[in-house]
Amino acid sequence: MDTYILAIDQGTTSSRAIVFNARGGICGVGQREFSQHYPQDAWVEHDPEEIWQTTLSSCKAAIAAAGLSASDISGIGITNQRETTVVWDRETGAAIYPAIVWQDRRTASQCAGLKAQGLEELVAQRSGLLLDPYFSATKLTWILDNVAGARQRAEAGELAFGTIDSFLLWRLTNGAEHATDATNASRTLLFNIHRQEWDDELLGLFKIPRVLLPKVKDSCDDFGRCDPQWFGKEIPVCSLIGDQQAATVGQACFKPGMVKSTYGTGCFVVLNTGTEALASKHRLLTTVAYRINGEVTYALEGSIFVAGAAVQWLRDGLHLIGSASETQALAESVASSNGVYMVPAFTGLGAPYWDPDARGGIFGLTRDTGIAHIARATLESVCYQTRDLLEAMRGDGADFATLRVDGGMVANNWVVQRLADILDCRCERPMVTETTALGAAYLAGLQLGVYQSLDEIAELWESADGFDPVMNEVDRARRYTGWKNAVARVRTQ
Ligand SMILES: Nc1ncnc2c1ncn2[C@@H]1O[C@H](COP(=O)(O)OP(=O)(O)O)[C@@H](O)[C@H]1O
Ligand SMILES: O=P(O)(O)OC[C@H](O)CO
């Protein structure tokens, strides 16, 4: 009989669940979108109850779609949107405030204040991160300082903090497990990535009581068992891992120097640096790629906040397109973007600029500019932003010949070809593009003994197609200079 693993992929815009077989084949999928809340400029929130309910119903749908029942599932792997912060009541499990999403910039001034005190170097040394509202710590401080009674209740041990992995684990196990994994912990600004423990000095800096925090485990570990009320049977939870790290595993980037880039709501480039926690000289993040049997593999990461979200904006904000996939035909319908550049800094700029106050812009408009040019410029912006990250990685000494790409946006062939052209680098698209869920399933399989090693998992990775650069160097350089000029016009620092 085959072994089946249920991977939960709790993303920024939807909750997904996928049942995989032991060869990494997809047997059933369940997906539920949920609401995005923008209560004020630069604030982004999710309803934790909606996250939980959509996750639960996606799991049930995926098991049903696979024609299976819960007793056929050997284990669960959870992967998640990272940094998003939830605080809940240990007694009732109810969140005391909406989830503050990774894109939320409400704590920009707190970060600027800490930077002004000269604390960025200490924070970077310990956590591998920068002082930016992207990460969990200032979001957590905000909740403790702004929700009535929260700080006292936290100090009294009545509350729990978690990123989405912890929150889902708590719910699935009915409060029996308050845990996270090293990858998710490494996105909080509170975790010492060298010592692999919560850092007292960082906790002091952000005024976070230690009693709020989950236990940090390996990315594949014993995370307890789901309460039978959810699926009719106890199922062990065998892995937790942040979604970009999961995609790194799903893309089998296990050797130092291997790199993947995922194009969903945002875009995240992750370079495996092996057992070395390489400190970037170009404002990239040092992060945990995965931790297995207590052994840490580190990565350099470049994070871009808006990639597919810019396409969503063309659809839902401007109503220029009816669906995301229309952008391919639109981009192909014109010979060039006609000098138009679009900088989608809707929630500030991430790596390598880290400018939370920057806002987006479209430049080079003329009377001849049409929808196709704007759509093409939007897709190109994702390629240019990736180039910014790869330049930074190369500046940090990385040397790679191919980039493994995945995520919803790489269904668009025009985008992948353009990426190869702008990056001057071969882009490989895998057979299974659901690499995030796949990575969580692989780690769960490793914990269950379905796989004996990462090498065995690497053997399962298969390329579907590769895209080689065809653009000439003069064009590439001219276009990239145009992009840099456009970025310079939206920057505030
Ligand atoms: N054919 C396409 N061309 C361009 N963008 C696309 C295409 N298909 C999906 N997208 C974009 O990809 C994103 C969805 O990717 P997905 O990996 O599901 O995201 P997430 O996990 O962040 O929710 C959306 O933002 C959507 O606009
Ligand atoms: O939900 P995604 O796929 O857009 O990923 C979100 C990232 O984890 C944020 O760091």
Mean pLDDT on 164-183: 98
Atom of ligand 1 nearest to the CA of 379: 4
Mean pLDDT on 25-42: 94
Distance from the CA of 96 to the center of ligand 1, in angstroms? 31
173 annotated to bind ligand? no
Q: Atom 10 in ligand 2: which residue has the minimum CA distance?
A: 82
Residue 386 tokens read as 């990736």
Given the structure tokens 């025009």, which residue do they identify?
414
For the chain, the C-alpha Rg in angstroms (whole number) is: 21
- What phi and psi values does residue 43 have, to the nearest 5 degrees? -100, 140
Atom of ligand 1 nearest to the CA of 263: 17
**pLDDT tens, residue by residue, 222-258:** 999 999 999 999 999 999 999 999 999 999 999 999 9
- Which of the 8 DSSP states describes residue 3? -
Query: Rounded to whole angstroms, how far apart are CA atoms 80 and 12?
Result: 8
480 annotated to bind ligand? no
Ligand 2 pocket, 264 CB below 6 A? yes
Mean pLDDT on 271-298: 95
Is-cis flag, bond preceding 98, omega within 30?
A: no
- pTM here? 0.94
Q: Atom 10 in ligand 1: which residue has the minimum CA distance?
A: 409
Atom of ligand 2 nearest to the CA of 244: 8
Distance from the CA of 308 to the center of ligand 1, in angstroms? 5
Picking from 54, 75, 294, the residue whose alpha carbon sits closest to that of residue 168 is: 54
Number of Cβ within 10 Å of residue 21's Cβ equals: 16
Task: Report the percentage of the chain scoring pLDDT > 70.
Answer: 100
Query: Rounded to whole angstroms, how far apart are CA atoms 291 and 280?
Result: 21
Q: Atom 11 in ligand 1: which residue has the minimum CA distance?
A: 308
Half-sphere exposure (Cβ direction) of 434: Cα atoms closer than 13 Å:
24
Sign of CA dihedral 286, 14, 105, 86: negative
Given the structure tokens 């939206």, which residue do they identify?
490
Query: Rounded to whole angstroms, how far apart are CA atoms 410 and 435?
Result: 12
pLDDT at 91: 94
Q: Which amino acid is at 274?
A: G
The length of the chain, given as a count of residues: 493
Ligand 1 pocket, 13 CB below 6 A? yes
Picking from 299, 111, 76, 326, the residue whose alpha carbon sits closest to that of residue 205 is: 111
Is-cis flag, bond preceding 209, omega within 30?
A: no
**pLDDT tens, residue by residue, 91-148:** 999 999 999 999 999 999 999 999 999 999 999 999 999 999 999 999 999 999 999 9
Given the structure tokens 């995609």, which residue do they identify?
247
Query: Rounded to whole angstroms, how far apart are CA atoms 159 and 95?
Result: 9
Mean pLDDT on 287-293: 97
pLDDT at 418: 97
Q: Atom 25 in ligand 1: which residue has the minimum CA distance?
A: 308
243 annotated to bind ligand? yes
Ligand 2 pocket, 83 CB below 6 A? yes
pLDDT at 1: 61
**Is beta strand 191-192 parallel, antiparallel or unpaired with respect to 197-198?**
antiparallel
**pLDDT tens, residue by residue, 48-106:** 999 999 999 999 999 999 999 999 999 999 999 999 999 999 999 999 999 999 999 99
Complete domains list, the chain, with CATH: 4-243 (3.30.420.40), 252-430+462-493 (3.30.420.40)
pLDDT band at 357 (very low <50, low <70, confident <90, very high): confident
297 annotated to bind ligand? no
Picking from 204, 165, 170, the residue whose alpha carbon sits closest to that of residue 182 is: 165
312 annotated to bind ligand? yes
| E-state strands within 70-146 | 73-80, 86-89, 99-100
pLDDT at 401: 84
Q: Which amino acid is at 104?
A: D
Ligand nearest to the CA of 268: 2
Ligand 2 pocket, 265 CB below 6 A? yes
Residues contacting 472, CB < 8 A, separation 6+: none
Distance from the CA of 409 to the center of ligand 1, in angstroms? 4
Ligand nearest to the CA of 383: 1
13 annotated to bind ligand? yes
Q: Which amino acid is at 77?
A: G
Site to probe by mutation for ligand 2, drawn from 181, 244, 267, 311 as the one with most ligand atoms within 8 Å of Cβ, is 244
Query: Rounded to whole angstroms, how far apart are CA atoms 75 and 97?
Result: 31
pLDDT band at 400 (very low <50, low <70, confident <90, very high): confident
Number of Cβ within 10 Å of residue 160's Cβ equals: 23
∠221-186-305 over CA atoms, to 5°? 120
Answer yes or no: are the C-beta atoms of 196 and 184 closer than 8 Å.
no
Answer yes or no: are the C-beta atoms of 267 and 382 closer than 8 Å.
yes
pLDDT band at 42 (very low <50, low <70, confident <90, very high): confident
- List the alpha helices (DSSP H) in 410-472: 413-423, 435-448, 454-458
Residue 327 to residues 308, 374, 375: CA-CA distances in angstroms?
Answer: 11, 10, 6
Residue 423 tokens read as 């990056």
Distance from the CA of 410 to the center of ligand 1, in angstroms? 8
Given the structure tokens 């990494």, which residue do they identify?
24
Site to probe by mutation for ligand 1, drawn from 13, 303, 311 as the one with most ligand atoms within 8 Å of Cβ, is 311
Answer yes or no: are the C-beta atoms of 281 and 386 closer than 8 Å.
no
Number of Cβ within 10 Å of residue 458's Cβ equals: 16
491 annotated to bind ligand? no
Residues contacting 329, CB < 8 A, separation 6+: none
Answer yes or no: are the C-beta atoms of 223 and 179 closer than 8 Å.
yes
10 annotated to bind ligand? no
Atom of ligand 1 nearest to the CA of 16: 21
**Is beta strand 45-46 parallel, antiparallel or unpaired with respect to 295-304?**
unpaired
Ligand nearest to the CA of 29: 1
Residue 81 tokens read as 């949107």
Answer yes or no: are the C-beta atoms of 302 and 393 closer than 8 Å.
yes
Query: Rounded to whole angstroms, how far apart are CA atoms 6 and 108?
Result: 37
pLDDT at 202: 97
Q: Reduce the secondary structure of 129-155 to three states and give it as a string.
A: CCCCCCCHHHHHHHHHHHCCCHHHHHH
Q: What is the mean pLDDT of the chain?
A: 95
